[in-house]
């Protein structure tokens, strides 16, 4: 049986600490039943501003509740958790009847970072090679690594030499599952990425909390991952106890370094089961080794400091509490999205969710009817009342202590770039537009209006401006909706008029000076979502002013920058290099904009991303920079954003840095150009002149 107190070294770790509320663990999973007896009094903060809430019921909520119980179940409750004293942040990215994309997962990771997570647990993923991970997901993982946040992700339960993302992405601690004897579960994945940066942890027959107060048992990498995440959080707590600064990334490296390595067997009489092979083949299933809590605790307690160096397809064994006998959470859809499916396979009409039979989908009875395991002999732990529901990254209210909570209902600013679209939300609304739109002439024949034709829609909205409100206006990255735009307040008619104008200009020929292929949308996230016609839920941006709502094309914006003229002091170029021509400067500005749109595309919800997006819309700001750099014979290498050391009182200032290099002389020093942007307000603003210096 996979009792947590029986895991070697766990009792020793609990002797030192059962958690500290200064350490935060983010759970990116399904909804969590916070009323479960195992989580009573847990310091749990749900982030519900980007996904629909509702009752914590169904298979995905069962998965989320199980993972949360393994992480933070109180020690005097029915299901003891690894780190009940740590603070938990729930980001429910998996929901019944919905498909979860890599883009959604990236958004959830960003929210976890904004919420101050030290450790992020992701008991899910998509069966894919690391090179197949979408750029937005890879960037979110990279951001965590840059900010010192440890991501712990399940390796997956396909039982193959295959990788899951994000587990296989660089910097993530991948976790496979083993039984009580330390042998890999046959279902645990062992792809090259997981072998490089992963380890095994107990994941067989683990006691879990289930919605409605029930208790069951589950097996798989989804349960092994929170065990490792909880241990990592407790080791970070030990750093705090000893007066050090928590370094989750160093803890992750420590867990890998102290894992017990596999010792290859050489024959059929070895210790390995016949179905897992022998020698190096069998050891591949062990990844970097098996979790050794005792070694890790000893390393921390004997050292003054350590320097930084589809939800998974899990199975639930039958339990007296009536837990589901099959709880598979597997990401493998043809549309390259993260989905959940039952072991018996999706049923017709499942709409991307689990279509199980009534018997499989039934949840256990309340705790009173459940057969709870015997309470462990670990220290009991009492926690205060749960934290309120708050936004992940509210508008700053000044410097506060880490124990203070953000005000309830605080809204996040957003400054997003993309293309404009519209949606109906339902067949009834679509048919209403079709009924009301006038007939059009097609080859001499009168045919009903087509609400999907943007040109016809624009003509209809010009005649009937009030009809713009029933539409769901969307902001898209490429063809994927990421936000729903909702004008509010007294200026909403003007905002709708501007949206209709942008939609019309998007239909023009690209060489038309009025053509628009990008819009900027500044606003706030009120914490609501809208369901689109295809079933996708997207967060709402509320826009209450025309200010900052711009539309442009790359070609037109680049030409506008060129029309401003090359700065006089750069008209002769540098070091004998001729001054850049208008065409050269035009190409350079276009390259800069395309870099932000496609290489650095983002949701515009973090301060860093808002500063970067504003740099794109305010391209005239970079005109002088590009002109001077091109005059020096240099080319753009990369674009960085970092927190500015300069900050006015009650500001949020970020430096956008453009780094240039000499493509013909690699030994020549690079040159950095920096301008500062304050993103405190809905519409960001640039501060001071552009600064420049050479960089070795």
In the predicted structure, residue 36 carries a pLDDT above the cut 90: yes
Query: Which strand (E) or helix (H) includes residue 674?
Result: strand 670-678
CA dist 296 → 149, 174, 247, 257, 328 (Å): 19, 17, 14, 9, 32
Which residue of the set 219, 222, 341, 419 is catalytic?
222
Pick the CATH number of 4-363 from 3.40.50.620, 3.40.50.200, 3.40.50.720, 3.40.50.970: 3.40.50.200
Answer yes or no: 63 catalytic.
Answer: yes
Assigned token pair, 15: 């002797």
In the predicted structure, residue 322 carries a pLDDT above the cut 60: no
**Domain assignments of the chain as residue spans, ordered by start:** 4-363, 412-550, 553-695
Closest CA to 18 of 68, 74, 67: 74
Residues 6+ apart with CB under 8 A from 268: 274, 278
Identify the DSSP state of 44. E
pLDDT of residue 17: 94
Strand pairing class (550-552; 518-525): antiparallel
* pLDDT, mean of residues 416-434: 94
pLDDT of residue 390: 30
pLDDT tens digits, 95-122: 777 778 888 899 899 889 988 999 999 9
- Dihedral over Cα of 403, 404, 410, 416: its sign: negative
pLDDT of residue 622: 66
* pLDDT, mean of residues 622-638: 74
Which residue of the set 20, 33, 36, 63 is catalytic?
63
**pTM for this model (two decimals):** 0.64
Which residue of the set 29, 49, 314, 517 is catalytic?
29
Assigned token pair, 685: 């603003």
Tell me how far apart the alpha carbons of residues 178 and 310 are, in angstroms, rounded to a whole number: 20
pLDDT of residue 588: 74
Sheet bearing 315-317, strands edge to edge: 206-210, 214-219, 315-317
* pLDDT, mean of residues 628-655: 81
Lowest mean pLDDT among 152-161, 270-279, 556-565: 270-279
pLDDT of residue 386: 33
Report residue 412: phi and psi, to 5°.
-95, 140
In the predicted structure, residue 371 carries a pLDDT above the cut 50: no
Helical residues (DSSP H) of 97-198, grouped into ranges: 102-114, 135-146, 192-197
Assigned token pair, 652: 């949020």
In the predicted structure, residue 295 carries a pLDDT above the cut 80: yes
Closest CA to 641 of 686, 607, 594, 602: 607
Residues 6+ apart with CB under 8 A from 372: 78, 79, 215
Q: What are the beta bridge partners of residue 550? A: 520
Tell me how far apart the alpha carbons of residues 46 and 60 are, in angstroms, rounded to a whole number: 15
């Amino acid at each position: 049986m996979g009792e947590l107190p029986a895991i070697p070294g766990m009792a020793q770790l609990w002797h030192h600490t059962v958690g500290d509320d200064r350490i935060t663990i983010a759970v990116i999973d399904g909804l969590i039943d916070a009323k479960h007896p195992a989580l009573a009094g847990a310091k749990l903060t749900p982030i519900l501003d980007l996904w629909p809430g509702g009752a914590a019921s169904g298979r995905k909520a069962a998965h989320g509740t199980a993972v949360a119980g393994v992480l933070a179940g109180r020690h005097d409750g029915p299901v003891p958790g690894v780190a009940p004293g740590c603070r938990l942040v729930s980001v429910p990215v998996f929901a019944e009847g919905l498909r979860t994309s890599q883009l959604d997962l990236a958004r959830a990771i960003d929210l976890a970072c904004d919420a101050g997570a030290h450790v992020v647990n992701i008991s899910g993923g998509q069966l894919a090679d690391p090179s197949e991970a979408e750029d937005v997901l890879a960037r979110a993982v990279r951001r965590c690594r840059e900010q010192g946040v440890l991501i712990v992700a399940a390796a997956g339960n396909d039982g193959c030499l295959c990788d899951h993302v994000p587990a296989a992405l660089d910097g993530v601690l991948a976790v496979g599952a083993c039984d009580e004897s330390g042998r890999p579960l046959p279902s645990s994945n062992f792809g090259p990425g997981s072998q490089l940066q992963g380890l095994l942890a107990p994941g067989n027959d683990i006691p879990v909390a289930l919605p409605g107060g029930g208790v069951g048992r589950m097996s798989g990498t989804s349960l092994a991952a929170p065990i490792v995440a909880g241990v990592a959080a407790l080791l970070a707590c030990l750093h705090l106890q000893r007066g050090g600064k928590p370094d989750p990334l160093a803890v992750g490296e420590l867990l890998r370094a102290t894992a017990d390595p596999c010792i290859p067997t050489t024959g059929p009489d070895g210790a390995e089961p016949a179905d897992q092979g022998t020698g190096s083949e069998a050891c591949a299933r062990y990844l970097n080794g098996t979790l050794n809590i005792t070694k890790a605790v000893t390393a921390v307690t004997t050292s003054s400091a350590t320097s930084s160096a589809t939800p998974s397809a899990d199975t639930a064994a039958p339990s007296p509490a009536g837990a589901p006998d099959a709880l598979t959470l597997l990401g493998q859809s043809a549309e390259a999205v993260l989905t959940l499916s039952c072991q018996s396979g999706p049923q017709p009409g499942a709409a991307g969710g689990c279509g199980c039979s009534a018997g499989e989908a039934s949840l256990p009875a309340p705790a009173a009817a459940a057969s709870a395991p015997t309470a462990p002999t670990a220290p009991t732990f009492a926690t205060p009342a749960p934290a309120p529901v708050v936004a992940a990254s509210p508008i700053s209210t000044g410097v506060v202590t880490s124990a203070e909570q953000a005000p309830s209902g605080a809204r996040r600013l957003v400054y997003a770039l993309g293309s404009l679209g519209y949606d109906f939300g339902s067949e009834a609304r679509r048919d209403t537009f079709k009924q009301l739109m006038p007939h059009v002439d097609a080859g001499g024949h009168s045919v009903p209006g087509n609400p999907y034709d943007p040109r016809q829609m624009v003509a209809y909205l010009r005649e009937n401006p009030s009809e713009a409100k029933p539409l769901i206006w969307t902001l898209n990255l490429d063809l994927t909706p990421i936000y729903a735009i909702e004008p509010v307040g007294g200026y909403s008619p003007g905002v709708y008029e501007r949206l209709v104008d942008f939609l019309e200009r998007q239909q023009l020929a690209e060489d038309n000076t009025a053509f628009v292929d990008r819009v900027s949308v500044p606003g706030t996230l009120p914490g609501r979502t809208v369901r689109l016609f295809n079933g996708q839920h997207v967060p709402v941006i509320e826009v209450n002013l025309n200010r900052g709502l711009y539309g442009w094309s790359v070609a037109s914006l680049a030409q506008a920058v060129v029309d401003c003229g090359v700065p006089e002091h750069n008209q002769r170029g540098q070091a004998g290099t001729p001054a850049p021509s208008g065409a050269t400067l035009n190409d350079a500005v276009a390259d800069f904009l395309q870099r932000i749109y496609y290489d650095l595309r983002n949701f515009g919800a973090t301060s860093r991303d808002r500063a970067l997006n504003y740099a794109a819309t305010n391209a005239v700001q970079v005109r002088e920079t590009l002109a001077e750099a091109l005059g020096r014979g240099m080319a753009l290498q990369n674009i960085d954003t970092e927190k500015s050391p300069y900050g006015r009182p009650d500001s949020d200032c970020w430096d956008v840095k453009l780094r240039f290099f000499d493509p013909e002389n690699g030994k020549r020093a690079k040159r950095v150009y920096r301008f500062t942007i304050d993103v405190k307000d809905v519409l960001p603003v640039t501060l001071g002149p552009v600064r420049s210096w050479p960089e070795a």
